[in-house]
Amino acid sequence: MTIEEKNIVETMNNLVHEHERVDELQRNGYGIIQDPGRFCFGMDAVLLSGFARVKKGERALDLGTGTGIIPILLEAKTEGEHFVGLEIQPESADMAARSVRYNHLETKIDIVTGDIKEASDLFGASSFDVVTTNPPYMIGQHGIANPEDAKAIARHEILCNLDDILRESAKLLKPQGRFYMVHRPFRLAEIFCRMVEYHIEPKRMQLVYPYVDKEPNMVLIEGLRGGKSRLTVEKPLIVYKEQGVYTEEIYDLYGY
């Protein structure tokens, strides 16, 4: 069945609301439900799903899952046993849960509505092998017209901050569990200091450049709970060869 045919069938089953759309993910025939009026997933989520490693039999938790894009992509790309997405905004969590049903992944992915700041109470200590997160990048609320807007919450540290994420991740991860995050390079010194403070040792890093001659605008980070001090810096990831043309690495990550 093509994605167009699936759209028709699932819309009739009330999975896709009138104001929403289904975007194809180029993986296992999966699609994801998105609302153009809210925050839609971007390249950072796709890059994180390619950078994170979930091994056979492992359980992974995505903090601030939004539309559920990272658990769905990780289920398609890895041999992980089970995936959970935690999202505080009920509308986004509902959309993510409907995307899970759309792709018939109910036995592999759970979407939970809840607060990152209470994640360890929700799931219990040392309950996951892997934690992933694509958190808000911007500090504070300066210039935000509506702090309750879904896009503002996704981009700014309104409902949680870096300390909340690292504190809860340290509790949620099993000993030697792995932490994966995409963030902005301008906060890299702060990120590393906070990771070490919470005993999540930075182990692997990759800078992402929009063009080969531009400054990096994203950084992918892997940490190890209770790990020893040793950081591997991977070769840079370049997004565009030229205007509108991805590099081969990016095409591979998107599954084209």
Report the pLDDT value the prediction gives residue 153, as an integer from 0 to 100. 45
Go through the domains of the chain in sequence order and give each one's CATH number.
3-254 (3.40.50.150)
Q: What is the 3-state secondary structure (H, E, C) of 182-203?
A: EECHHHHHHHHHHHHHCCEEEE
Report the pLDDT value the prediction gives residue 9, as an integer from 0 to 100. 58
> How does 163-199 read in b/e, with b if 16+ C-beta sit within 10 Å?
ebbbbbbbbbbbeebbbbbbbebeebeebbebbeebe
Q: Is it the case that residue 18 has pLDDT exceeding 80?
A: yes
Mean pLDDT of the 203-209 span:
98
Q: Is it the case that residue 200 has pLDDT exceeding 50?
A: yes
Packed helices 69-77 and 43-51: angle between N→C axes, nearest 10 degrees:
40
At 50, the amino acid letter reads G
Residue pair 109/85 in contact (Cβ under 8 Å)? The answer is yes
Mean pLDDT of the 218-236 span:
97
Structure tokens at 40: 């839609």
pLDDT-based confidence at 142, cuts 50/70/90?
Answer: very low
Q: Which residue has the higher pLDDT, 37 or 15?
A: 15
* Closest to 83 in 3D by CA, of 98, 65, 94: 65
Residues 95-120 pLDDT 10s: 999 999 999 999 999 999 999 999 99
Backbone φ, ψ for residue 229 (5° rounding): -75, 110
* Closest to 128 in 3D by CA, of 89, 185, 72, 71: 71
